[in-house]
A and B are shown apart, each in its own frame.
Chain A
């Protein structure tokens, strides 16, 4: 139970980073922490008591494995996170070229 709560604490740490940091790159890092904490939470959900790694080999018993479905889904989610991070970083580089700063309090041309 404490493991799940620690994952949610990590989620809140990432959320603090997205909300309160002023540098664009730190916001991207906060978002990455959020995504990884949820991946970790999802993998932990699959734990079965006294289970072993879900790899099927010819001489192993398949009955006491942990749940392999969350692991497959988390693979997909990691790749989605990779795509988002790559897109955000290239946008941050372009913003630096146009505005000259990474500070979000100075990137405020759109308002109203």
Chain B
């Protein structure tokens, strides 16, 4: 990729990740939440890979790490759901639910959003990595 693309990518990747984190954290106040925020964070890495090539991106996050982070995200979500059993029912919202429309309110919903964004983002990235690596190395998994 040309120098212009590489320079602009270096400037914007951090901003895209920041925007994704903003959408995840404000999931209970404005549209977005876990899915959309996770996809935006994954797209930041894809942007990086498109500009700098496969090897530079693989040095930041390898396939094994992506697979482990994805399972970790799912287990975190399941742990938050199981924590509801402490309050009496599966998936119950057990943390204090503060004042409405503030950032730190709505109990376990922001934590669930964070776990889902981890899973969806890393999952999408793992799919992209699998497709890219698949293309170059033929029959090897």
Contact = CB atoms under 8 A, between A and B. Distances in A.
Direct contact of A and B (CB under 8 A): yes
Interface of A: 55-58, 75, 78-79, 82, 86, 89-90, 93-94, 97
Interface of B: 30-31, 33, 35, 100-101, 120, 124, 127, 130-131, 134-135, 138-139
B10 to A, nearest CB: 28
22 contacts: A55-B30, A55-B31, A56-B101, A57-B101, A58-B100, A58-B101, A75-B33, A75-B35, A79-B35, A79-B120, A82-B124, A89-B131, A90-B127, A90-B130, A90-B131, A90-B134, A93-B131, A93-B134, A93-B135, A94-B134, A97-B138, A97-B139
Contact of A86 (B30, B31, B100, B127): B127
Given A79-B120, A97-B139, 16 more contacts: A55-B30, A55-B31, A56-B101, A58-B100, A58-B101, A75-B33, A75-B35, A79-B35, A82-B124, A86-B127, A90-B127, A90-B130, A93-B131, A93-B134, A93-B135, A97-B138
Nearest to A71: B31
User: Which 10 residue pairs of A and B lie closest in terms of their CB atoms, listed nearest first?
Assistant: A86-B127, A58-B101, A79-B35, A93-B134, A75-B35, A90-B131, A55-B30, A55-B31, A90-B130, A97-B139
Nearest to A79: B35
| Main SS at interface, chain A | helix
Contacts, number: 24
Nearest to A98: B139
A98 B38 CA distance: 34
Contacts of A86: 127
Contacts of B127: 86, 90
A19 to B, nearest CB: 27
